Structure 1
C-alpha cells in the first residue's frame, strides 16, 4: 500500500450531472440527506446498484447522517451494474464509484490510475444460483458448458467471477454464454423464463429467489469462508474507488468520506440486521421487511469493520483475474497502486479513540 506525503490543494471539481437518480435517492434528499440542502463540500458517487445489500454502506452512511456530520454534501446516483459505475467515474461524471475493487486492476492495465480508498468487504457477497428448472443438471461450475449464465452486466464483477469459476472447473470462457440481466426483478424474471440457466447475483435478489422457489444456491460467497472455498482466499469486493489524481488533489475531502464510511461499518458491526433494515429506505424491502432483514443478515459477514484492505486480498483478486482475462494475464499489475489504507487506518484510529 502507498503512504502519501504530498499535500495537494483542496479544490472541488465541477462535473457533469447525471440523470440516473432513482426514486430511492430522491427519498434520501427528502429525508434531509446530503442529496439535497446544498450544504458542505459536494461529492457525487455512482453506485453499482444502490439497493444491493453488498453496497449497503453507501445509502446507510447517508441515512445515518455521517456524510453531513463530516461537512459533506454527497449525492448518490445509481446504475444497475458495477461496470457502468466504473464508466461514470472514468468519464469524469462523478468523483467516486462504489463497486468492486477488481475494477481498479482492470483499469490499471488499460492505462487508468484508480484506487480503492476504503474497503467495505473481504468477501464478494455474490451467490451463484441455479434455476429450479435446471437444478438437476447443474451441480458445479464444471457443468457450465453450453449454459446461459446471468451476470449483472458484461464486464462487471459478476462477469469476472463467473468466468473464473468456470475456468477453475475446466470450462473455457467461450464454452458458455454470459447474459446481462441486471439484478432484482430482471434477474429473477430471466431465471423463471429460462432466459438463463443459472446466474450470479446478490441479496436481496437471492433471498427473493429462494422465497419464490425459483432456484437454489450453487455457490455462496457471502462469507469469508465461502470466499476462501470458492476463490482460495479473501476477496475484497465492495469499495469506494476514485481516480488517483482526484484523491491526491482532494485529500481532506477523501479523508472525510472515509471517516463517514468507517463509522458506518463500525455501526453495522454492533447492530442487528433488523436494526440496519429499519434505517434503509422503506421501498428497499419491497413489502417484505422480514425477508429484507434476512437478506441483510446473510450478507453481513462479508463486511469489514474498519474499511482496511484485508491482508492478501489484492493478491487473490489478481489471481482470479489472471485466470481468464487476456489483458491482465500477461500484464504486470502494480497492486500497491490499486488501493491505499492510509485514510481508513486514520479513520479507524479516530473511531477507536472516540470509544
Structure 2
C-alpha cells in the first residue's frame, strides 16, 4: 500500500495521518495499539458514537485495542485521565476549559455531539406546584455526578434565574436505572439527565421538563449559540506523543458518526447492549429520534462552539471567570479533516 505521512510543524498538534488507507493495514505506524478510554454514563445517547465505534469494530479495524472504563459521570472520567489511569476521555468539551484553568492542557480532537442533550425537569411528585426556576431554591437536584456536564447545565439555568449552585443540593444519581429510581422514589426534587433516562421518566408522567437541549433550536435558546457536547479529548502530551494513534481513534469515531446518520432502528437496536434499552425497545427508539439531530454528522467542532462553552462556564463558575483561557489550545479539527478525506463509512 502507498502511504504518505503528514507531519505538523507544531509540537502542539503534531498531527500525523495516513492517506487513503486505514491504519489497521500498517499497525507499525501506530505509536501504541492499546488505548484506555474513560467515559461517564456509557449507556447514554450522549456517548452513543463511542459505543458504535466499539461494537461495530471500527476501533479494531484501525488496529486499536481499546479498553473503555465506565464511570458514574463525566467528572469522574476526567479524574481518571488526569490521574493517569486513562489515556483519553469520552466526555463533555467544557472540561477542557476547566482543566486549562487549572494549568492542565487537554485538547478535544473529535466531536460526538453538537448539542448537550441534557434535560432539566422537576418531579411532579415532590414539586406539584412548580412555577419557575426560583422554586428550585433549597431543593435536591439529581445529576449524573457533581461537576459533570449535567450539573454544569443545571447551574447555568439556575444562574440565569438568579440562583447559584449553593442554593440547591446536587446529588449524584448516575445515568441509568438508579437515576430513574431516585426521581420516582422522591429522593430528589428535580433531575438533570439525558436520554433514554429522561424520555422514560417523561413517558411515565413523572416529570415536568423546564429546560431542554436535545435539539439545535432548544440548545441555541438555552445557551445563545452552538454548544459542543460529547467529544474525545486527551492531554496535549498524549496527542503530541501519539499522533497516529490519535488519528486512528478519530477515524473510528468519524466512521461511527457517519454510520449513525443512515442507521435504521433495527440496526441500532442490534448494535447496542441490551442494558441500554432500559427494558423498552420502542421507548429507546423514540428517544433516539429526540436526540438524533444532536449528533455531530462529521465530528467537526463548530467555529463558535468553544466560545459559547466558555461564556456558559463564566456565567456561574468562579474558578474560570478571571482566568485567561486560550480556546485555540482546547480543540482541533485537524484529525477530523484528515479522517473525512480518507475514511469511508
When normalised by structure 1's length, the TM-score is 0.86
Distance 2:276 2:15 in 1: 39
Give 1:6 shift: 4.1
Contact 1:192 1:214 (8 Å CA) reproduced: yes
244, 253, 265: which one pairs with 1:261? 253
Distance 1:282 1:187 in 2: 18
288, 293, 296: which one pairs with 1:296? 288
Q: List aligned pairs for 1:236-247, cutoff 5 A.
A: 236-247=228-239
Q: Summarize deviations over 1:165-217 as a string: whole Å, max 9, x none.
A: 10111223322222222222221122122221111000111122123222132
Q: List aligned pairs for 1:1-355, cutoff 5 A.
A: 4-6=8-10, 41-134=33-126, 136-351=128-343, 354=344
Gaps of 5+ in 2: 1-6, 17-31
Residue of structure 1 equivalent to 2:3: none
Cα RMSD (Å) of the superposition?
Answer: 1.9
Contact 2:251 2:336 (8 Å CA) reproduced: yes
Residue of structure 1 equivalent to 2:25: none
Give 1:303 shift: 0.8
Distance 2:166 2:302 in 1: 33
Give 1:310 shift: 1.2
Give 1:275 shift: 2.5
Contact 1:101 1:239 (8 Å CA) reproduced: yes
Gaps of 5+ in 1: 11-39
Between 138-147 and 197-206, report the one with greater CA deviation. Answer: 138-147
Change in Cα spacing, 1:143 to 1:274, as seen in structure 2 (3 Å) is: farther
Change in Cα spacing, 1:9 to 1:275, as seen in structure 2 (3 Å) is: closer
Change in Cα spacing, 1:142 to 1:62, as seen in structure 2 (3 Å) is: same
- Secondary structure at 1:161 match in 2: helix
Residue of structure 2 equivalent to 1:34: none
Count of aligned pairs between the two proteins = 322
Between 189-198 and 105-114, report the one with greater CA deviation. Answer: 189-198
Distance 2:274 2:266 in 1: 13
Residue of structure 2 equivalent to 1:22: none
- Secondary structure at 2:95 match in 1: helix
Residue of structure 2 equivalent to 1:31: none
Change in Cα spacing, 1:267 to 1:140, as seen in structure 2 (3 Å) is: farther
Distance 1:274 1:86 in 2: 33
Distance 1:80 1:172 in 2: 24
Contact 1:116 1:239 (8 Å CA) reproduced: yes
